[in-house]
Structure formats: structure tokens, C-alpha cells
Structure 1
């Protein structure tokens, strides 16, 4: 059984992950104002995949994945980075980085629901109440924006950000059993490779159809865009994927998801300080409700409802059926 001391590096990794992701909304907002979201994602994952390839090529971090083991990782990559970052980038075209951070705080709620279904976790009455508080926080923000929200692009942006949060929750649940079979760098490299291939095919395909392939490279002449891209490609894509894979190999998905709460505070502060985004009182109240709710969903349950990191209790739907997994049972 893992001790608190042994889990220390995992919690540190989760904390660093939260800080990096918290600031990432700021940089995504900067890039999508310069280039099309698909171009941003193509550039971002090209940079991150090439950076991740350096230690792999030189043998510093070997990746040994058999062909039969690729599908479970590819399925993981479709949730994050593909859907997670795609919904996030398009959502931020019509929503502020502060709102993105608030919506990100709903990840633990989605994680609890998905873990209950796929991992057969039980939730207590207090956890269910906490879940309702978190949902009420999101609804409160929507309601306080008034009727204009329902007919505006902002509603579309927030909806896409909610889908982004749901995608990452699915990733957290799906990644948990895979981290027992594959090394963090193996998961990171393959998922980044999937993102690199898909996003570049979509971006280049879009420009080829429009006859505007030269526009794909134009943003790369903007020094501010390059700076934001370096943060997103190296820290917020490659490093965070590695950190989350490492953390999920040591601690439960529900505990890892708690750190999404800290992302909210960082993103709200970053948006207010650097993008001059206005934080209204209902943003703060809604954020507090979400944070209190997600803390309750993770810490007010009984211990029997948590994931035992030493036992393979996952359903067969999400566990790769290969010899390495069977041996660990």
C-alpha cells in the first residue's frame, strides 16, 4: 500500500500540473486571437511532439509499445489531448479565461460520476449533496448572466468548455488503469503523437480546401504568438501530460481531479491581471460553490468508496487485455 510519503512526488506533480494548466487558459486566449484554433492546436502539438521525441530518439526515455497495445492508448488520446484541447481552444474564442478556469473546476464532479460507473466507486449522501452544490455553482453563473447568455456566443463557448472538462474527466478515469501497465513517458509520447497527427491533418486540410495554406504559417512570424506557443507546447502540453500520467500512476483519479480546483484560482487571477478581464461577484460566488462542492465530493465519502491503488478493480471495458496487465493482478 502506498504511504503518504511515497505519494509526495505524485501530489507535487499534481500541484505543478494545476499551476501550469491554470495559466494555460491565458496563453490559449492569446493564441486564438491571432490564429484559427485548429492552426494553434497543430502548431502546439507539432512543437510538443518534436520536443518529446528528443529524449526518445537519444534513448534517454525509451518507449517500448507493442502494436497490439496501441489502441487503448489511442482511445485515451482521443479524450485528451484531442477532444480536451479542441473543445478548450474553440470554447475560449467566445468565453474568458476566467470562465474557463471556473468551468475547469467541474472536472472532479464529472470524474466522480464516471468513476462511479466505470470503476464501480460508491458515493455517500454528503458527496451527492456536494455534487449538487458544484452543479448549482455553474448554473448560478449562467443565470446571473441573464437571458443574453442563451442567445450569445458566450453560451456556446461555455458549453464547449464544459465538454472539455468532461473529456478530461474521462481521460483521468481511463488513464488510471493504463498507468499500471505503461510508463508515464510511454503514455505521454503516444498521446502527443496522436494529437500531432490529427490536428495537423485537420489544419492543413482546412487550408488546402480554402486555398490558404500560406495562412497556416503566418502566425509563426509573430513573436508574441511564438512565446505563447512555447508555453502551450512544452509546459502546458508535453509537461502536463507527463505530470498527470505520473500522478495517476500513484494516486486515485478522484484525488488527482481535486487539483483542478486550484486551476480555477490561478486562471481567474491570470485573466484579471494580464488580460484585464472583469471578475464580477457572481463569478467569485460561483467559483466558491464549485470548489466547495468538489472538495466535498472527494473528502466527505467513506474510505470504501475510494479507489484502491493496489488492486485492479477496474471494469473490463477500460483495462487493456494484455499480459502485462494480467500479471499485475
Structure 2
């Protein structure tokens, strides 16, 4: 039960990221992202700095991939998440975020030349339909009567950013020690975000962080989803497998919607429930369909071999 407990905690921490991001959306998105990364960097520094310094030549050699990883997964993804929460509900954000695996698979086909089974393509299409269902408020065939929500479209940026990050993780992350990589990427993200945050403060004013609730929320964002959830997830993957561990992330919309209803007072409609179910089923088909097909092929081959013997 230990790895399953870890993954349950990971889901709750990631749901907390969305719920707290919504709760403090009086703060602008660049400010939230900057202070989240600053806190994460301070927490990670004692753990990862020796490894980062020891492997500095590797990071310098692959500085372009490191920059892409930092921009896509550390900076832009969080900016889009918190920017989206300025306009749309946390339930919508969670449902749309759960479509990321299907979009990543599409990127893998074109960039990594991966091949998909028919079942996986069906899962991709189903996931995208579920995402569109949420974006269009369940009115797929009533375009003229829609009231477009800019927050849902901002989430598309988060989906694309994390999909790009996932591709570069596959291509390059094996080159770097894990904690050193997270520390360096967080540091690069901070350097890139700092001038952008200064411009944001110049435009909208310097935010007041004297509010105790803001400080607690930023500490949570910087410690739990940025650091502890990562440790728990990596440990669960080692004990289970990446595919089994990733299945638990499909519960993110469910936990987030329950939390949004209880804590934030958001109304959960049938549109949210149907959209979440469509996306989750599509993701399961996309991520598990290839494995199921392989098992069937292995089973058929085994039967043939037994028949011949």
C-alpha cells in the first residue's frame, strides 16, 4: 500500500496547487509563479547544489535543452496555470490539465516518430473531445450561443508547454542528476521570470505580501507541489512503474472538483462530470492502449508456440 499512498498524496498536492492558485488569484500570475519558484529554489538548494556544481560542465554543454526545460515546464506552465485561474474555475483547469498525456502523445508521434495503435488514436481523439467539451461548456454544436472564456484558452498554453517539456524530458533528462536538474531548471526559471515580474509590478503595482494567507499559500506552492510531490512521485514510480503511477493522476480532476465545491464554493455541473469522464477514459486508452495491444500480441504468439509444440 505504501506506493499507492504516496500517489494519493501526490494527487492531493497537485489538486491543492490548483485550488490555492484560485484562492489567491488576487495576486497576478507572474508574481505567484516567481515566489513559488523562489521558495522551491531555497528548499532545493541544500539538497541539489553539490550535484549541480559537480555536473556543471554537463549543464553547460546542454544549455539549450536546459533552457527549454526551464521555460516550458518550470516557468510558462505555471504562468499559464495561474493566468488561467484568473478567469476560469479550478474544475475547468483540472479537467483540461488531465488532457496533457494525450497531447504529449501527439507531439511524440511527430517529434519522436513514435507509432500509435488504433486504440491509442481513439484515446487521443476522445481526450481532445473531452477537453473541447469543457472549453465549450458542453455546447459542441452550438458555437453561436457560446460565451467564450479566455481562461480555458490560456490553459491550452499550459497543456502545450507541459507537452513540450515532457518531450524534452524524454530526450535529455537522463543526462542530468535528478535533484540537480530540478534545482538548475528552477534557477534558470527564476532568472527568466525576474525581469518579467518587475514589468508586471510596474504595470499593476507591487503586490502586498503582508497578508498571512498569501504567505502560507506561497509556502505551500513552493514546498509541496514543487518539491515534496516530486519526491513522492519519483519514489512511487520506482516501486510501481511509470504507467501504474501515472494512472493515479487521472484522479486529479475528481479531487479538484470536490475541493472546489467544498472549499471555494464552485458549482459542479454535469458538464464538468461528463467532460472529466471523457478525458479520463481517453487518457487511459492513450497511455494503456499500446500496452494492452502488446499483451494481446504476446498472448497470441504464446498460444501459437504452444500449439506447435
If the length of structure 1 is used for normalisation, what is the TM-score? 0.77
250-259 vs 237-246, which deviates more?
250-259
The reply to whether residue 222 of structure 1 matches residue 211 of structure 2 is: yes
2:170 to 157, 160, 176: 176
Q: Deviations over 1:21-42 (max 9, x none)?
A: 1221001111222x11121122
Unaligned runs of 5+ in 1: 1-7, 307-329
- Distance between the aligned counterparts of 2:99 and 2:80, measured in 1? 15
Aligned to 1:289: 278
- Distance between the aligned counterparts of 2:210 and 2:275, measured in 1? 39
2:56 to 65, 88, 105: 65
Q: Deviations over 1:46-96 (max 9, x none)?
A: 111122123345x59866222223322121111111111011111110111
Q: Deviations over 1:199-247 (max 9, x none)?
A: 2221123334x494xx23x1x2111111111111111223345566777
Deviation at 1:177, TM superposition (A): 3.4
The reply to whether residue 262 of structure 1 matches residue 251 of structure 2 is: yes
Aligned to 1:156: 150
Unaligned runs of 5+ in 2: 296-309
The reply to whether residue 86 of structure 1 matches residue 79 of structure 2 is: yes
Give the 3 Å change call, closer, same or farther, for CA 253–175 of structure 1 in structure 2.
farther
1:20 to 13, 16, 38: 13
Give the 3 Å change call, closer, same or farther, for CA 204–267 of structure 1 in structure 2.
same
- Size of the aligned set, in residue pairs, is 289
Give the 3 Å change call, closer, same or farther, for CA 128–272 of structure 1 in structure 2.
same
Q: Secondary structure at the match of 2:290?
A: coil
Deviation at 1:281, TM superposition (A): 0.7
- Distance between the aligned counterparts of 2:70 and 2:226, measured in 1? 12
Q: Is the 8 A contact 1:63 1:185 kept in 2?
A: no
- Distance between the aligned counterparts of 1:83 and 1:251, measured in 2? 30
Give the structure with the higher percent helix: 2
Deviation at 1:17, TM superposition (A): 3.6
Deviation at 1:147, TM superposition (A): 5.7
The reply to whether residue 277 of structure 1 matches residue 266 of structure 2 is: yes
1:41 to 28, 33, 58: 33
Q: Report the RMSD for the aligned CA atoms in angstroms.
A: 3.1
- Distance between the aligned counterparts of 1:264 and 1:176, measured in 2? 25
Q: Is the 8 A contact 2:22 2:85 kept in 1?
A: yes
- Distance between the aligned counterparts of 1:190 and 1:44, measured in 2? 15
- Please identify the structure whose Cα radius of gyration is greater: 2
Give the 3 Å change call, closer, same or farther, for CA 234–143 of structure 1 in structure 2.
closer
If the length of structure 2 is used for normalisation, what is the TM-score? 0.81
Deviation at 1:13, TM superposition (A): 6.4
Aligned to 1:233: 222
- Distance between the aligned counterparts of 1:251 and 1:121, measured in 2? 24
Q: Is the 8 A contact 1:19 1:262 kept in 2?
A: no
Q: Is the 8 A contact 2:103 2:124 kept in 1?
A: no
1:189 to 178, 183, 190: 183
Q: Is the 8 A contact 1:188 1:245 kept in 2?
A: no
